Chain A
């Protein structure tokens, strides 16, 4: 059984970002929401925050993270082999692909948490269009609660300009995805999430895939405006 998902591949490759509204809806979306709420309630599944104080302070990236926890939740686990996502992956990675990791990020209402400007991979290690975030938004976001900020086309530019972590970038745009929206973004794209001082939680589900041509060990370095981090520790 094979199927092709219709999407604008050229836009994705040229801009480094593609927004597909209402990719998930109805009962499927409700099941995703239910499981995510269970995950967020289970602190044992969250990455411990102790020992990361230096990272929070230097890079001002402060969301609660749940890494590779989909396996405990059937609907979330099934996302990784969702037939429509597979169709998109087959189109952008005809050479084959691999899931690097799944990541749920939670910016709690009113806590002012944020994710500063960054690139998920090092521009010298991974070429444009070789690694993508599949960001699913299970709940509505607003401009105040955690819109996604990005610079279109920046995935082809090389290093993120140096500076303070949250300082504005030339050409930046923002989008506030609605529940069920899917955003596919090149991991080299300059992107950030603003501080959430709203009364609304912000949750995103990220499945990060890379081309089979990319070595897994080359996918571990994230670049920030004031430095770079080896996520593998």
Chain B
């Protein structure tokens, strides 16, 4: 199991300059397993060995799995070797203060340089604990155990950590790989429908711009099970999304290259989240952003009308929002474009072309006000049609 290791390099003196070269191995494993807190499962215990360990768990996960986690740890580790802690895990709590609180707890527990943080929860917990681990004693091992679908398909596979700062999402953070990541599909069984939908938004994202097969499998599932639950979808769809995500991330783990297909759905959404005080969850904001982007792609001639509508309708069919009156206006979209242009050195708005492929829009001038308004009008119309159809279906059933 690797963490960050210097695997090659050297030093050289030339005139007044000392040059240092160090090649780091940044590799990490993502382990998909089942029943990781079953007493007979040795995986986590073996990963921890004799490391002093601070567990940081989200309140909801602790409520549901606290007893199982406690019993597992009691069986496998001496009591003085680990501490179970809980910290709130919403976007509002995703702050530097919370990260410092985690660090303070680690210090109080005498977590040493060879110790380990274990984050158990959704993406927010993993981002916060990862950030704490990357700073604590200038870098301490941490293990991610993702309990949400967003966490499993999105956050757990990458190396980004961070917290929100001054109304900007993930403004402060680091690139820091986990010592290991463990995904247990059984956690999805207790996940609320809204959280599952948010995770599915990230899976649809990968299907729309990276892998048409993922998109088609979801489409096929809903064709066969129109009212089907996400938790009954074949987990291999989610694993495929993880794989595509890793393939996209791996050559660019430190995001030096700012053209990233995985940023699809993440241009307007950040503002949608923060400027609604997180009324919209991350996946919901991403869903609206994706719908608007599909409409924009059609309007710019990059995507056929049929594919654009097909994509928006799949998002809609998943019970994800495609339109929100508070967010969907040109001022907000233009402000988002300006914000990301500063962040990415160009707009780099990802638009799907065919299902499974995407392109980048680089300049703000390519997104004039009239075009943004037309895109809003399209999703608003489809949203209204969808609600009318749903009402009609309810009446028919009644």
Contacts and interface: CB of A to CB of B under 8 A. Distances in A.
Contact of A4 (B63, B92, B105): B105
B84 A23 contact: no
Nearest to A11: B97
Interface stretch (B54-62, B223-231, B357-365): B54-62
A8 B101 contact: yes
Interface in A1-50: 1-8, 20-28
Given A3-B66, A4-B83, A8-B97, A23 B88 contact: yes
Pick the most buried of B67, B87, B88, B101: most chain A CB atoms within 10 A of its CB. Answer: B88
Contacts of B63: 28
B70 interface: yes
A22 B85 contact: no
Interface residues of B, number: 26
Given A3-B62, A25-B60, A87 B86 contact: yes
A83 interface: yes
Given A8-B101, A25-B60, A84-B59, A3 B84 contact: yes
B88 A3 contact: no
Contact of B60 (A4, A20, A26, A178): A26
In this complex, the member of A3, A20, A83 whose beta carbon has the largest number of chain B beta carbons within 10 angstroms is A3
B396 to A, nearest CB: 29
Given A8-B97, A84-B86, A22 B105 contact: no
Contacts of A87: 86
B184 to A, nearest CB: 20
A4 B57 CA distance: 10
B66 A22 contact: no
B102 interface: yes
Contacts of A7: 101
A4 B86 CA distance: 6
Nearest to A84: B86
A73 B168 CA distance: 40
Contacts of A5: 85-87
Contact of A25 (B57, B67, B87, B90): B90
A20 B88 contact: yes
Contacts of B88: 20-23
A175 B112 CA distance: 39
A178 B92 CA distance: 11
B57 to A, nearest CB: 8
Contacts of B87: 5-6
Secondary structure at the A interface, as helix, strand, loop or mixed, is loop
Nearest to A27: B192
A22 B92 contact: yes
B304 interface: no
Interface residues of A, number: 21
A83 B60 CA distance: 12
B66 A6 contact: no
A20 B62 CA distance: 17
Interface string B75-93: 0000000011111101011
B66 A1 contact: yes
Contacts of A3: 57, 62, 66, 70, 84-86
Contacts of B105: 4, 6
Interface string B83-116: 1111110101100011001101100000000000
A26 B195 CA distance: 10
Nearest to A1: B70
A178 B90 CA distance: 12
Contacts of A83: 62, 66
Contacts of A27: 192
Contact of B101 (A6, A22, A23, A24): A6
Interface in B19-78: 56-57, 59-60, 62-63, 66-67, 70-71
A2 B67 CA distance: 9
Contacts of A20: 88, 93
A24 B57 CA distance: 14
Nearest to A24: B59
Nearest to B108: A4
Contacts of B192: 26-27
A98 to B, nearest CB: 23
Nearest to B103: A6
B7 to A, nearest CB: 36
27 contacts: A1-B70, A2-B70, A3-B57, A3-B66, A3-B85, A4-B83, A4-B86, A5-B85, A6-B56, A6-B85, A6-B86, A6-B101, A8-B97, A8-B101, A21-B92, A21-B93, A22-B88, A22-B90, A22-B92, A23-B59, A24-B59, A27-B192, A28-B63, A83-B62, A83-B66, A84-B86, A87-B86
Interface of B: 56-57, 59-60, 62-63, 66-67, 70-71, 83-88, 90, 92-93, 97-98, 101-102, 104-105, 192
**Which 8 pairs of residues, A with B, have the shortest CB-CB distance?**
A22-B90, A1-B70, A21-B92, A6-B87, A4-B85, A3-B84, A6-B101, A5-B86
Given A25-B90, A26-B192, A28-B60, 11 more contacts: A1-B66, A1-B70, A3-B85, A4-B85, A5-B86, A5-B87, A8-B101, A21-B90, A22-B93, A24-B59, A84-B62
